[in-house]
Amino acid sequence: MHEQPGRWALAGALTMVVGLATSYAVAMVLTIRESPVVAVAELIIRITPGAVAEWLIDLVGQLDKPLLLLGIVVFLLAMGAFAGVLARTSTLKPLLVWLVLSAIGTGAVLVQPGANAVDVLPVVVGFVTWVVVLSAVTQPLVTARQRPELASRERRTFLVVAGVMGVAAIAIAGAGRFVGRGRRHVAESRRLLRLEGVTREPAPAATTVDLVGVSPWQTPNDDFYLIHTAISVPTIEPKDWSLRIHGLVDREVTLSFADLVSRRLTQAWITLGCVSNEVGSDLIGNAWWSGVRIADILAEVGLDPSADCVLQTSEDGWNCATPLTALTDDRNAMLAVAMNGRPLPIEHGFPVRTVVPGLYGYVSATKWVVDFEVTRFRDVAAFWTQRGWSEQGPVKISSRIDVPGDGDDVPVGALDVGGVAWAQHTGIAGVEVAVDGGEWQPATLGATPTDDSWVQWRLQVDLEEGDHELRVRAIDKDGLEQTGVRRDVLPDGATGWHTIQVGAVSG
Ligand X SMILES: Nc1nc2c(c(=O)[nH]1)N[C@H]1C(S)=C(S)[C@@H](COP(=O)(O)O)O[C@H]1N2
Rg (CA), the chain: 29
Query: Measured between alpha carbons, how far is residue 414 from residues 88, 169, 457, 467, 470 in Å?
Result: 69, 64, 17, 15, 14
Instruction: Annotate 446-469 with DSSP letters as a single string.
Output: PP-S-TTS-EEEEEEEEE-SEEEE
x/- mask, ligand X, residues 274-313, rule CB under 6 A, reads: x---------------------------------------
Q: Which does 158 bind (CB under 5 to 8 A by kind): Mo ion, ligand X, none?
A: none
Q: For Mo ion, how many residues bind (rule: CB under 5 A)?
A: 4
User: How far is 150 from 307, CA to CA, in rounded Å?
Assistant: 75
Which residue stretch of 89-97, 109-117, 158-166, 354-362 sits at the interface with Mo ion (rule: CB under 5 A)? 354-362
Q: How far is the CB of 273 from Mo ion (least distance, A)?
A: 8
Question: Rule CB under 6 A: is residue 453 a binding residue for ligand X?
Answer: no
Runs of H (alpha helix) within 147-292? 151-192, 257-261
Question: Rule CB under 5 A: is residue 274 a binding residue for Mo ion?
Answer: yes
Q: Tell me whether residue 245 or residue 336 sits nearer to ligand X (CB atom).
A: 336
Using CB under 5 A, which of 122, 358, 361, 496 touches Mo ion? 361
Q: How far is the CB of 234 from ligand X (least distance, A)?
A: 7
Helix (H), strand (E) at residue 57: helix 50-60
Residue nearest to ligand X (CB): 361
Q: Which does 408 bind (CB under 5 to 8 A by kind): ligand X, Mo ion, none?
A: none
3-state SS class at 380? coil
Q: Within its chain, how far is the Cα of 377 from the centroid?
A: 30
Q: Within its chain, how far is the Cα of 198 from the centroid?
A: 24
Using CB under 6 A, which of 199, 229, 325, 386 touches ligand X? 229
The answer to whether the beta carbons of residues 443 and 473 sit under 8 Å apart is: no
Query: Measured between alpha carbons, how far is residue 58 from residues 43, 48, 273 in Å?
Result: 20, 15, 51
Question: Rule CB under 6 A: is residue 385 a binding residue for ligand X?
Answer: no
x/- mask, ligand X, residues 349-378, rule CB under 6 A, reads: ------------xx--xxxx----------
Q: Which does 440 bind (CB under 5 to 8 A by kind): Mo ion, ligand X, none?
A: none
Q: Tell me whether residue 76 or residue 355 sits nearer to ligand X (CB atom).
A: 355
Question: Rule CB under 6 A: is residue 225 a binding residue for ligand X?
Answer: yes
3-state SS class at 195? coil
3-state SS class at 353? strand
Q: Tell me whether residue 95 or residue 230 sits nearer to ligand X (CB atom).
A: 230
3-state secondary structure 23-42: HHHHHHHHCCCCCHHHHHHH
Using CB under 6 A, which of 228, 244, 246, 263 touches ligand X? 228
The answer to whether the beta carbons of residues 346 and 339 sit under 8 Å apart is: no
x/- mask, ligand X, residues 307-346, rule CB under 6 A, reads: -------x-x-x----------------------------
User: How far is 464 from 454, CA to CA, in rounded Å?
Assistant: 31
Which residue stretch of 94-102, 274-282, 350-358, 375-383 sits at the interface with Mo ion (rule: CB under 5 A)? 274-282
Q: How far is the CB of 425 from Mo ion (least distance, A)?
A: 17
Q: Tell me whether residue 344 or residue 374 sits nearer to ligand X (CB atom).
A: 344
Q: How far is the CB of 275 from Mo ion (least distance, A)?
A: 5
Using CB under 6 A, which of 348, 425, 468, 498 touches ligand X? 348
Which has the closest alpha carbon to 337: 194, 181, 188, 222? Answer: 194
Q: How far is the CB of 266 from ligand X (least distance, A)?
A: 18
What backbone phi and psi angles, to 5 degrees, belong to 307?
Answer: -80, 145
x/- mask, Mo ion, residues 222-241, rule CB under 5 A, reads: -----x--------------
Q: How far is the CB of 277 from Mo ion (least distance, A)?
A: 8
Q: For ligand X, how many residues bind (rule: CB under 6 A)?
A: 18
User: How far is 104 from 85, CA to CA, in rounded Å?
Assistant: 21
Query: Measured between alpha carbons, how far is residue 178 from residues 172, 186, 232 in Å?
Result: 10, 13, 14
Helix (H), strand (E) at residue 126: helix 121-146
Do strands 441-442 and 428-435 pair parallel, antiparallel, or not at all (unpaired)? antiparallel
Residue nearest to Mo ion (CB): 274
Using CB under 6 A, which of 227, 279, 381, 490 touches ligand X? 227
Instruction: Annotate 224-238 with DSSP letters as a single string.
Output: S----S-SS-----G
Q: Point out which residues bind ligand X (CB under 6 A).
A: 224-229, 272, 274, 314, 316, 318, 348, 361-362, 365-368
Q: Point out which residues bind Mo ion (CB under 5 A).
A: 227, 274, 361-362
